[in-house]
Copies of this chain bind each other. A is one copy, B any other.
Amino acid sequence: MLFSRHTYVERRKQLRELVGNGLILLFGNNDSPMNYPANAYKFRQDSSFLYFFAQHREGLVGVIDADSGKETLVGNEIDIDDIIWYGSVESVGDLAAQAGVENHAPMAKLQDMVSEAIKAGRRVHYLPQYRHDIKIQLADILGTHPNSLEPSLDLINAVVKLRSVKSAEEIEEIERACEIGYQMHTTAMRLCRPGVTEQYISGVISGIAASYGCITSFQSIVSMHGEVMHGYPSPRPLEAGRLLLCDAGAETNENYCSDHTRTTPISGKFTQKQKEIYSIVSDCHDLALDVAKPGVRYYDVHMDVCRLMTDRLKELGLMRGDTEAAVAAGAHALFLPHGLGHMMGMDVHDMEGLGQIHVGYDEETRPSTQFGTNALRMGRRLQEGFVVTDEPGIYFIPALIDLWRTNGTNAEFLNFDKIEEYKDFGGIRIEDDVLITKDGCRFLGENRVPYHIDDVEQFLADRD
């Protein structure tokens, strides 16, 4: 258990109060089969279950009666075969007691608990389910189809409210993840040379993540084709002159995440053309840090970044026309088809499984439907204790350039002839994790992976 029993007792008490009434079910995860039932991926507990019930074992469900306050940890006990194969472990009662949960019950009782609540006309609250085994289990309990589950908006809102604001203890754990991330990214930069494969670099940094914590917080993006948003590493060797985009994060043993991106010149130095684009991205990155603070909408920080990017792309002759009008039309999204950032915490896109609209938006700030801005995962007003990513990027995506050019999309703001010259450029992204503080914000992680042009080139020159 990461925090004190009191922390978990208090979190559940707040959850009960926010939800108000009914029976709350929080499903922990089971092992997830990779290529046959007994060969599972590395176990990953559900973040909300972990947040409220503290335990990492598979096969558990937390039940909270919001009316009576009764709390039960549901799970089956182990037998001698489990001991031989998995070692002696604590009983479900012990696990419950550690987390300050008074009751425990075997899994067969879950059906009864739910049936009784339904019979009494009470609401049964559960979150959106992303694991299909749990979907089947829950649908069977409720007598419905796995695709017909109806998650509770009250429960979603309550969980989002609590998990969005990180405590000082949680920040410490995220800082730990950032330190592992620092080791990963500086190692990737040291290894980044012509002839080394993307897969090799990705493999080594995933080994660093696993050496000090869990597996990476998401599938690392390590690619010479930075213009592919999710460019997974391939066995192809790095080519001199190109850029390597590396987007990777660590997870601590307690499942708090980091998420950083660096873009490194494979030859050790940026070309003039690369410098011109890179410096726009690094300036956008710094701008966000200047602007983000409590009370400011992250949507507006995103838009500030889009305006700066448009101004600078105009200077290079890639865009043209009025900046405000270009950004309003979404012309910049040809280069930046994603958002400036997302919430981060126990999930690298924190709570994304609960529905982005509930996490990143609210009644005041509604999501955009415009291409590019519609991919902004976090738009609402920032609060002290939020952790968000700051990850601007500029990409030259040949298929998208062709499509827009053919359709004349935003043609008044885009100099397609000039853009053609960048079609083999690739893409650049720079990303750090940002804590919203009382009156501003700061990067998380004690050590900063270099990202300003001079620092990057110095680091690469010094590595030998």
Complex Cα–Cα for A46 and B36 (A): 9
* Complex interface: stretch among A157-165, A198-206, A455-463: A198-206
Enumerate A6-36 residues with CB–CB distance to B below 8 Å.
29, 32-36
Known: A32-B32, A399-B83. A349 touches B209 (CB 8 A): no
Pairwise interchain contact B133-A400, C-beta atoms closer than 8 A: no
- Please indicate the chain B residues that have their CB under 8 angstroms from the CB of A208 in the complex: 203, 207
B residues less than 8 Å from A199 (CB atoms): 210-212, 253
- Closest B residue to A231 using CB positions: B87
Query: Which A208-262 residues have a C-beta within 8 angstroms of B?
Result: 208-212, 215, 218-219, 225, 228-231, 235, 253, 255
Residue of B with least CB distance to A40: B219
Q: In the complex, how many residues of chain A place their beta carbon closer than 8 angstroms to a beta carbon of chain B? A: 66
Q: Are A347 and B219 interface neighbours, CB within 8 A?
A: no
Most chain B beta-carbon neighbours within 10 Å: one of A47, A210, A230: A210
- Are B348 and A39 closer than 8 Å at their CB atoms? yes
> How far is B205's CA from A425's CA once the two chains are assembled, in angstroms?
35
A42 at the interface (CB under 8 A from B): yes
In the complex formed, the residue of B with least CB distance to A50 is: B35
A121 on the B face (CB < 8 A) = no
Q: When A85-B230, A210-B203, A212-B203 are in contact, do A35 and B46 touch as well, CB less than 8 Å?
A: yes
Question: How far, in whole Å, are A29 and B33 apart by their CA atoms in the complex?
Answer: 11
Query: Please, which residues of chain B bring their CB within 8 A of the CB of A403?
Result: 80
Instruction: Give A142 Cβ to nearest chain B Cβ, in Å.
Output: 14
B-contact 0/1 string along A188-204, CB 8 Å cutoff? 00000000000110111
CB-based contact A337/B84 at 8 Å? yes
Within 8 A of B (CB), among A407-464: none
- Decide if A204 touches B211 in the complex (CB within 8 Å): yes
Name the one of B207, B349, B351 contacting A203, with C-beta atoms under 8 angstroms.
B207
Instruction: Find out whether the CB atom of A35 lies under 8 angstroms from the CB atom of B44.
Output: yes
Minimum Cβ distance to chain B for residue A346 (Å): 8
> Quick one: which of B41, B46, B84, B147 contacts A136, CB cutoff 8 A?
B147
Q: Is the CB of B39 within 8 A of A131?
A: no
Copies in the complex: 2
Is A5 close to B, CB under 8 A?
no
Bound CA–CA A41/B80 (angstroms)? 31
Tell me the smallest distance from the CB of A215 to a CB of chain B, in Å.
Answer: 8
Complex CA–CA separation, A37 to B130 (angstroms): 5
Interface code A343-366, partner B: CB below 8 Å = 1, 0 otherwise? 000111101110000000000000
- Contact partners of A212 in chain B: CB under 8 A: 199-200, 203
Assess the A132–B130 pair: CB atoms within 8 A. Answer: no
Closest CB in chain B relative to A330 CB, distance in Å: 14
B399 touches A86 (CB 8 A): no
Answer whether residue A57 sits at the interface, using C-beta atoms and an 8 A cutoff.
no
A397 within 8 A of B: yes
Asked if B41 and A32 make an inter-chain contact with CB atoms under 8 angstroms apart, the answer reads yes
A41–B44 alpha-carbon span in the complex (Å): 10
Whether A88 sits at the interface, judged by CB under 8 Å, is yes
Tell which of A132, A146, A399, A400 has the most Cβ of chain B within 10 Å.
Answer: A132
Chain B residues with CB below 8 A from A269, complex form = none
Q: How far is the CB of A396 from chain B (nearest CB, A)?
A: 12
Chain B neighbourhood of A218, CB < 8 A: 39
Q: Is A108 an interface residue (CB 8 A)?
A: no
Contacting residues, chain B, for A133 (C-beta < 8 A)? 132
A83 to B402 Cα, complex, angstroms: 12
A38 within 8 A of B: yes
Distance, CA A290 to CA B26, complexed state (A) = 54
- Nearest CB on B from A79, distance (A): 10
Return chain B residues, CB-CB under 8 Å to A32.
32-34, 41
> Known contacts A203-B207, A348-B39; is A136 also within 8 Å of B130 by CB?
no
If A34-B32, A210-B207, A235-B253 touch, whether A397 touches B84 (CB-CB below 8 Å) is yes
A-B contact pairs, 13 of them (CB 8 A): A33-B353, A35-B130, A35-B255, A39-B347, A80-B403, A83-B397, A86-B229, A87-B225, A199-B253, A203-B209, A203-B211, A204-B211, A206-B215
Known pairs A88-B399, A207-B210. 12 more at Cβ < 8 A? Answer: A33-B131, A35-B46, A35-B130, A35-B353, A36-B349, A36-B353, A83-B397, A84-B397, A85-B230, A206-B207, A206-B215, A207-B211
